Structure 1
Amino acid sequence: MTDAHAPERDDELQTTITIEATPAQVWALVTDVKRMNEWSPQVVKTVVLGGPLRLGTRFVNLNRQGWKRWPTTAKVVRFQPHADFAFRVTENGTIWSFQLGPTDDGGTLVTHRRETPNGISALSRVLTKVALGGQEPFVAELRAGMAQTLARVKAEAESHQ
């Protein structure tokens, strides 16, 4: 597993991994948001609102840090099958994404990002400081969680090879 960090703009985070499975197989996992609690250490449960996942679909996550729990709502903002899946979190304005590309040996290079095109909301910054241990520790926790998410997706995808 590689943990690549491109130069980050303010609060943007990224982690990359190579998975020995096709982009279609990986896509099926990362877009099955009802299973996100199996991949992400922060997600407790995801409920999709409406029909199948596609551009514009909304969903609700219940997140955790230790004993603390909080809901977030999200909307799918990019949905290019087998290539790019992204959703914007309403409460803080961040965009979480999975970008997939084929490797020469039939696998998939996956980049998991937290994008902050408009920064992070002031309310979210205050709540992170007051309730989640502060920006630096929380970002470190998010970065570790992103790597763990990709490692879990990799393990699941490769177990079916």
Structure 2
Amino acid sequence: MILRMEREWVAEESIRIEAEPARVYAAVAELRRMGRWSPECFAVWTRRGLAEEGTRFVGFNRIGWRVWFTTGRVTAAVPGQVFAFRVSSFGIPVALWGYRLEDVGGGATRLTEYWEDLRRNHRGAALVSLLGRIFTGVAAGDRAALNRRGMRTTLERIKAACEGP
């Protein structure tokens, strides 16, 4: 008997950072720094430093020898509270990524990174999922687990940077 698990469309991970929300927000809202945090995104091109709602950007990603890009637009930018963006590929919405920040007192912040796969509601979803598998080597059903692992790495890197000098 083959047991097939339901595909996951959302994922999130959290970490406590011994730094004020403003400092943590500055780290996540500076899109050009994303290549330092993420194990998958190695560079971001944007005209702005600290992003605000509506900021557009191009993200360059890699897994092994595979390299691809996505286009993005910041959808929420509230200092000390939330930073989020949508990414598209070939003009088709792919995912919503974001960070929620919570002041937990004592100069500390709980940072939560979240992801939602937006392909399920688009008529081109099957094509984008196929292209995603070709370009990234990741089957759509494996994406949530891969993203969770990447989020843990990203959050640990942000923590180290924000808690450091």
Between 123-132 and 137-146, the greater mean CA deviation after superposition: 123-132
Over the matched positions of the two proteins, sequence identity in percent amounts to 36
For the residue of structure 2 that corresponds to 1:93, the secondary structure is strand
15, 18, 28: which one pairs with 2:16?
18
Change (3 A) 1:107 1:50: closer
Query: Helix, strand or coil for the counterpart of 1:103?
Result: strand
* Aligned match of 1:4: none
Deviation at 1:10, TM superposition (A): 4.1
Q: 58, 61, 64: which is aligned to 1:63?
A: 61
Contact map agreement 2:31 2:50 (CA 8 A) in 1 = no
1:110-137, CA deviations, whole angstroms, 9 ceiling, x for partnerless residues?
1100024663633331123344131233
Q: What SS does the aligned partner of 1:112 have?
A: strand
Could you say if the C-alpha distance between residues 51 and 41 of structure 1 is closer, same or farther in structure 2, counting changes exceeding 3 Å?
closer
- Contact kept in structure 2, 1:78 and 1:87, CA below 8 Å: yes
Per-residue deviation, 1:145: 0.5
Please tell me the residue identity of whatever aligns with 1:54.
Answer: E
Q: Provide structure 1 residue ranges, at least 5 long, that are not aligned to the other structure.
A: 1-8
The answer to whether the Cα contact below 8 Å between 2:42 and 2:61 also exists between their aligned partners in 1 is yes
Matched, 1:79 2:77: yes
Residue 155 in structure 1 maps to residue 160 in structure 2 = yes
User: Is the Cα–Cα contact under 8 Å of residues 19 and 110 in structure 1 kept in the other structure?
Assistant: yes
> Aligned runs of 1:1-161 on 2, under 5 Å?
10-49=8-47, 53-91=51-89, 92-116=93-117, 119=120, 121-131=125-135, 132-160=137-165
Q: Which has the larger radius of gyration?
A: 2
The alignment's C-alpha RMSD in Å is: 2.2
How much has 1:45 moved relative to structure 2?
0.9
Q: Distance in 1 between matches of 2:82 and 2:12?
A: 14
Corresponding residue SS for 2:153: helix
| In 2, Cα distance between equivalents of 1:147 and 1:95 | 17
TM-score (norm 1): 0.85
TM-superposed deviation, 1:104 = 2.4
The structure where strand makes up a greater share of residues is: 2
Answer whether contact 1:49 1:60 (CA < 8 A) is retained.
Answer: no
Task: Return the TM-score normalized by structure 2.
Answer: 0.83
Shift of 1:142: 1.6
**Count of residue pairs the alignment pairs up:** 153
